[in-house]
A and B are shown apart, each in its own frame.
Chain A
């Protein structure tokens, strides 16, 4: 009897030795390029990462293509923005992914918004008469570098859980990113300091975390309500308000039509800036830090021209 047990044990051990844990690096899928960039910062060459949405795409309206099901099918970790940003397209993809690991509630699903500073959390009754409001707060929170740091930390922890052998590596990569981000933040704060309190208009409510962090004052939106395209009456109101408050700069995401913003800018003698809300939104925004570099360069150079300081 003992003989058999010894044999079985030996056989199992041999099997275990012959099949070491799969050497393939964990596959990470993110819903946006910003998250993919942060995964790259933390995961280095010990993970593979792919984003479902492109940076120049409106993340609210992504088509849930079957090719995404394939990507999700063999993912080890899914990182999502959460706060219902992906509510229109991610749930059916998750159901059809046939991948238990990445279902919400399991270690393979990371909601990046946990721990982030979320703005515009609705207080009191909200209705769809307010447009496509996000009941769990503004989901464009990655545009605050401090939130980027929080997300990166959460990613490092999640990766450490999936690939415990590389935990130290991820922690060291996170520490390095944290240091570089802190240096960059000093640079950005210094560049934006002269323009503290500058009034701007944005197209969609994509920028509250960004404008809050860098001290800009958003006085209005091209959209009359979130998700509702510009109407003539609202455009006229916005133009007179911009003139009254002498606001010259309109910030627009790359996926919106420029016709209305440009008409407004002509009328008020201002400028339209196509900022990148996401990594990959413009060619030079190649990673998370480069994204802010791009936006802040564009903002400061425009402010210099428009405000003359």
Chain B
């Protein structure tokens, strides 16, 4: 063992150190130097004792281990318990990976057959590739980025930080967000139960992109023992098909109240009321010079769900509706209210199969007399959580007289981190 050698080196270093330090203080007396030497010697003795103690401990543990080894070798094979596997706390290769965000990529391949004079959707198209990066930022925030690459190029679908450790039970989001207006607007395309967005969204709530803007969102739970009640207030710099901020002072505002309650163990009701107000992006065809336009949206949504807990992976029923009133106004003249809604239901009838239907009806903003309506039937096959195939028959009667009968189909496939389902 090398303990003695180490002790000698340490002692030497201490003696040298002790001899060297007083040199700077010229007035040091011999007695003081002597005192220091004695202290150094005492220190060395103490260190030596500690080292001896450690050596004794090691020896004892080694002997114990040797004895146990001998005992194990002596007993029959099955007596040796399997060693508990080490917890995989960090991947061995490159510990820097631990801080990488969760990354997932979702491909949305869309197809369309049949005739629709009002649609430019191609027969086949990789409609969207959504890449998500999600991670905890620090003890106060997490960040979620969703980049969407589509025929129009790459854009940030959403990119925001969420602060969920604020006082007063507040949840603050800052960044680019899908506005909390109703249900469909907040959902990413791949999370919808259909291949398309309903007519009411297309006509009145920002088309395929929806209301997705840069701004802040604050929400709070309104504590009560009867139901889940959440109030959300948001302010955005408008840059969508609904709102367009032409000046810093012209923001768009969104407010939402969501009420949720479990009716029974397997059924629940989800109700929401939404309000949005901001400078209009769209203009009427006959433009009034010097006029500023604003748009007010009022929405109401209701979802009823049934999912028996014991058979949750086989059966599910959902019925949902969303109603939207849009009132575009100019400073000089008022504006007509355009109304639209959809209503529909899905039923899961086997572990991998869902079927459903949807009815659509929506007027156009600035021309409430022009009303589109239609309906869809759809069937979804769900091989696993990471892929999905869907077919949808859609009939649309446009207000301009065009009637379209189409068959739409969709393949969704995702790789990467296991995304959690948002309710």
Using CB atoms and an 8 Å cutoff, list the residues of chain A in contact with chain B: 54, 56-58, 61-67, 69-70, 73, 84, 87-92, 95-100, 103-105, 113-115, 117-119, 121, 128, 131-132, 136-137, 227-229, 254-257
Contacts and interface: CB of A to CB of B under 8 A. Distances in A.
Contact of A257 (B221, B262, B314): B314
B3 interface: no
Interface in B60-111: 84-85, 87-88
Contacts, number: 110
Nearest to B139: A105
Contacts of A99: 164
B388 to A, nearest CB: 14
Interface residues of B, number: 43
B310 A56 contact: yes
Contacts of B162: 95
A73 B222 CA distance: 11
Contacts of B248: none
Contacts of A65: 260, 262, 268, 423
A92 B420 CA distance: 7
Given A56-B310, A114-B87, A118-B87, A95 B268 contact: no
Contacts of B258: 66
A201 B253 CA distance: 58
A228 B384 CA distance: 7
A69 B164 contact: no
Most buried by B among A73, A95, A137: A95
A258 B422 CA distance: 30
B264 to A, nearest CB: 12
A280 B289 CA distance: 70
Nearest to A117: B84
Most buried by B among A54, A87, A96, A98: A98
Interface of B: 84-85, 87-88, 136, 139, 142, 162, 164-166, 169-171, 221, 223, 228, 230, 258, 260-262, 265, 268, 270, 307, 309-314, 351-352, 384-386, 415, 418, 420-423
25 contacts: A61-B313, A63-B423, A64-B420, A66-B423, A69-B221, A73-B223, A87-B418, A87-B420, A92-B423, A96-B171, A97-B164, A98-B169, A98-B171, A100-B165, A103-B164, A115-B87, A118-B87, A119-B85, A121-B85, A128-B384, A132-B384, A137-B85, A229-B352, A255-B311, A257-B314
Contacts of B309: 54, 56-57
A69 B310 contact: no
Given A57-B310, A137-B85, A227-B384, A70 B221 contact: yes
A64 B421 contact: yes
A103 B140 CA distance: 10
A70 B164 contact: no
A128 B413 CA distance: 12
B346 to A, nearest CB: 14
A136 B87 CA distance: 8
Nearest to A225: B384
